[in-house]
Structures are given as structure tokens and as C-alpha cells.
Chain A
């Protein structure tokens, strides 16, 4: 219990510090781009493959039940709402929490245990601005973009599965997909991905920056980062869904 509150306090302090350092010039654009490349481009293949398979499996699993109820024609509508509202953002965030969150935590932890961060401070470089704010900015910006790709690839996977089992025309499929979607599906879904990205970056940086001395501490920090980031993503998802429902969009 103490650990929970300790982690919560660390996260709160970090959030305040990151926002303060992030908005204050000078800005580290080059490092932000570098981190965007690391988090966005290097996660794309993993996110893409996962999204395609999930779209494929979603249709393969749902089709028998829908066909049994005589609602086979609802497959595109069902898959679009599922993927856009929940599967795309959540799966992308969880994969990124595992890959990017642990990577950031391990990298910062290693820098911490090897005293590179201390050296940066001595050399006059603000580690919060250069290491932390840029990474959090990168995850906050890249996870929504990755989510867009994940949704498109998952819908392609869904279409592939539908065209394997049934003779589905691509025009018909995507027409039904966009016919079903509303702004009330797209906007909350897209908005929450920014919060997912921020949470993943924040948790990864917090755990890495505050890791204890030694390689064991780096491992623990990476592990804790993944667990807390995934939990944060799910909690944020629940809160956003609740807020969306309260606003009458569900």
C-alpha cells in the first residue's frame, strides 16, 4: 500500500516537473524527433502485425455467431465499431506500454545507474528537458498516429477475413464501415490515445529515472513500468468511456 502511494506521489511530482520543463524554452526539437522515430517507426511493424491479426481473428470469431442469428451482413459494422472504439486504441497502447514503456524505463535506469544523468546535470544539460520531456512528448504524439495505422490495418485484416469466408466486395465493406461510424465513435477514441501516450511515457520515465542503483534495479524499474503503464492505460480507458457515456455519446 505504501508503495502504491509512493508511486502515485512520484508520478504526480514528475507530471508537474515535466509540464513545467516542457513548456519552458529552449525546446529540444531534434531530440523529440529522434524519440518520435524510436517510439513511432520502430513500433510500427509490431503494432501493424498485431492489429492485422486482431482484425482477422475478430471477424473469424464473430462471424459464426452473427451468421447463426442471420446477421452476417452486420460484420463490417460490428468490426468497425469494435476496432475504432476499443480494439485499435487499447491494443496499440498495451503493445506500446510493453515495448516503449519498458524501453524508456530500462534506458533511463541504465543512464541513472551509470551516472550519465548526473554527468548531464554537471555539464549544464537539464535532464528533465532533454531526456524526460522529449520522451513523454514523443509517446504522446506517436501513439495516436500508431493507433490510426493500427485501426486501418485491423480493418484491412477484418476485410481479409470477411473476403476469405464470404465473397465481400471491398467497396461494400468499407462503405458499411464508414456508414456505421459516427464522430461520437471517432473523437473520444482518438482523444484517449493522447492520454495513453502521455501515461506510457510518464510511467516509463518515472520508473527509469527513479530506479535504484544496480542492474537489478533497472530490471525492476522496467518490469514495474510495464505493469503500471498497462494498468494506467486500462484505467484511462475506463474513465474516458465513462465520460463519453456521461456526455451521451454511447
Chain B
């Protein structure tokens, strides 16, 4: 074969293979860009479409179903995103589906993710608007993290103060931490506490037993709680006691009034209680009465021996015997 023909064949092969590779590449890239598939248009309105651009992927529950066709600003708070969705995926997307803007991994490109909505929706139509859920933007995340950082700073500062107090030699925590005597006391306290707890448990058991007895109607307490007749009697007694108490109260009030009158009045009783002269006179009168009584006794004794009345006294003495 002629040399020039060989060269031409080789060149032709070189170019044809190159062109075929180019066409395959274009086909593959086109297939990924939904160029060779039947698609239908959908739109969604977001307040923020940061990072979203023409050609960004559209996914339905994480599976690629289309691409973003245009991103347009509608007004100062609305961005409209038009999408091309594969027609074969239309059946899965309903009117209740929700579109969100997500990231492909932590550092990946932004994309539109359509998630299944509430049941009851119908298959979506061309040029329909999907419900949207606006994404949490990075600034909001950073603001939250800033708040968390501030909290962490405060917590660490408190921990610093706490550890500083712990290291303070005169502090209670340091004493607990380092002082062996305190530790021994604490240990003893815990031991005592354990004993007390044991006793409390015993008491509790006893109370439980008593309660059981009461519940079974045994003993005086059970009778007190369960006997209706006794209860009635007790109620009557209580009523009587109440009545008596009321009467006593009335008497007490009267006595109080009397004492008040005695204290405030100019009567004999008040004079007897307060007038010392009268008291001295009374005392003297009593003494006189004693003397008079003694004289009367002597007179009576004399009368017994008198001949006029002797007979009467003898007769009385015999009668008494």
C-alpha cells in the first residue's frame, strides 16, 4: 500500500475516533443534563436561593429527576426557580410535594430537593408551583452556633470558678476533697445514715404491718376507724362536749364580767379585797367573835351545871346515847 494512503487512513482513523469520542461525550453530558429525555416544567418560589444556578440538580427524595432551568428574582423577597423534570417521574410528584434547597454533601453544590408531601395529593401538572420550605441559611446556623459558643464560654467560666473554689484551702469543697478527718466523719455519717435508713425501713415495715392490721379490722384503731356505732357514739360525745364547752364558755364569760364588776365596782366584795382598813376591822371582828364564842362556851358550860337547866341537859344526854 502506498505510504501516503497509509498515512491518510491513519489520519482518518485518528480523526474519526476523536469525533466519535466527542459525540459520546456530548451524549453522556447531554443525558445528564436531561437533553435527550422527555421533560415537563415545574416551578417553585423561595425567599432565598443562594448557590442555586442554571443546571443545578433537582432530586426527588434524593434521586435525580431533573435540572434547574432558570432562576429569576420576582420581587424583593421572592426568587422563582423553574425546573425541568423527567416525564417518567411525574407520577411520583404530587401537589402536596414540598421543594427545598439543599446541598450535595457538606461542601457540594446547591440543589433542589423535592420531598413527598402529605397523602391525598394528585399528580402534578405542567407549569405547576410546588410548595416550598425555605432552607436554613448558613448565617442562621452560625448565629445559633454563636449562641452555643457563648453558653459554652459561660459554662467554662463557671467551671473555672468551681475548680478555683475546689482548690481554695479554706473552702468546704477543698476540705471534703483533701481533709482525711472530714472524709472519716463523712464516712461515719454515711454509716450512721445507713443505720438510720435501716431503722426507718424497720419502722416503715412496722407501719405497714399496722396498716395491714387496720385494713383487716383488727385492734382498737381498726375499731375506731371501722365501727360505725362507736363512731356515732363518739360523734354524740363530741356534740355533748361541744355543748358543755359552750356552757363553760358562757359561765366563764359571766365570771369574767363578775370579776370585772368586782374589780371596778365599790361593792362590799371589792372593799373586802382591796380596803385594808376594812380587812383589819373584819380581822378584829373575827377575833372578837372568837372571844365571844369562847365566853359563850364557858356560859353554856355554866348553864349545864345550873340547877335550873341541869335536868334538861341530863335528859338530852340520855336521849343521844
Q: Is B105 an interface residue (CB 8 A)?
A: yes
Check if A184 sits within 8 Å of B21, measured CB to CB.
Answer: no
Check if B14 sits within 8 Å of A152, measured CB to CB.
Answer: no
Check if B8 sits within 8 Å of A181, measured CB to CB.
Answer: no
Q: Answer whether A37 and B10 are a contact pair too, CB < 8 Å, given A178-B28, A181-B32.
A: yes
- Determine the distance from Cα of A145 to Cα of B18 in the docked complex, in whole angstroms: 6
Check if A41 sits within 8 Å of B21, measured CB to CB.
Answer: no
B-side contacts of A182, CB under 8 Å: 29, 32-33, 55
Check if A186 sits within 8 Å of B55, measured CB to CB.
Answer: no
Q: Is the interface of B mostly helix, strand, loop or mixed?
A: helix
- CB < 8 Å neighbour of B14 from A40, A178, A190: A40
Q: Which of A40, A145, A152, A181 has the largest number of chain B CB atoms within 10 A?
A: A145
Per-residue A-contact encoding for B1-18, CB less than 8 Å = 1, 0 else:
000100110110011001
- Determine the distance from Cα of A73 to Cα of B25 in the docked complex, in whole angstroms: 22
Q: Is B26 an interface residue (CB 8 A)?
A: yes
Q: Is the interface of A mostly helix, strand, loop or mixed?
A: helix
- CB < 8 Å neighbour of B29 from A36, A73, A152, A178: A178
- Determine the distance from Cα of A149 to Cα of B14 in the docked complex, in whole angstroms: 10
Check if A33 sits within 8 Å of B55, measured CB to CB.
Answer: no
A-side contacts of B29, CB under 8 Å: 178, 181-183, 185-186
- Determine the distance from Cα of A37 to Cα of B11 in the docked complex, in whole angstroms: 6
Check if B108 sits within 8 Å of A74, measured CB to CB.
Answer: yes
- Determine the distance from Cα of A179 to Cα of B111 in the docked complex, in whole angstroms: 13
Q: Answer whether A70 and B106 are a contact pair too, CB < 8 Å, given A145-B18, A179-B32, A181-B29.
A: yes
Q: Is B107 an interface residue (CB 8 A)?
A: yes
Chain A, Cβ-Cβ closest to B25:
A186
Closest Cβ–Cβ distance, residue B32 to chain A (whole Å): 5
* Number of A interface residues in the complex (CB < 8 A): 26
B-side contacts of A124, CB under 8 Å: none
**B135-165: which residues lie under 8 A (CB-CB) from chain A?**
none
Check if A248 sits within 8 Å of B26, measured CB to CB.
Answer: no
Per-residue B-contact encoding for A70-110, CB less than 8 Å = 1, 0 else:
11011000000000000000000000000000000000000
Chain B, Cβ-Cβ closest to A69:
B107
Check if B55 sits within 8 Å of A44, measured CB to CB.
Answer: no
Q: Is B30 an interface residue (CB 8 A)?
A: yes
A-side contacts of B19, CB under 8 Å: 145
- Determine the distance from Cα of A73 to Cα of B15 in the docked complex, in whole angstroms: 34
Q: Answer whether A41 and B18 are a contact pair too, CB < 8 Å, given A70-B106, A183-B29, A186-B25.
A: no
Q: Interface residues, chain B, CB within 8 Å of chain A?
A: 4, 7-8, 10-11, 14-15, 18-19, 21-22, 25-26, 28-33, 35, 54-55, 105-108
Apart from A33-B11, A181-B28, A181-B29, list 4 A-B contacts with CB within 8 A.
A74-B107, A149-B21, A183-B35, A185-B29
Listed by A's residue number, 30 A-B pairs whose Cβ atoms lie within 8 Å are A33-B11, A34-B4, A40-B14, A41-B7, A41-B11, A44-B14, A70-B106, A71-B105, A71-B106, A71-B107, A73-B105, A145-B19, A148-B21, A148-B25, A149-B21, A178-B25, A178-B28, A178-B29, A178-B31, A179-B32, A181-B29, A182-B29, A182-B33, A182-B55, A183-B29, A183-B33, A183-B35, A184-B54, A190-B22, A248-B54
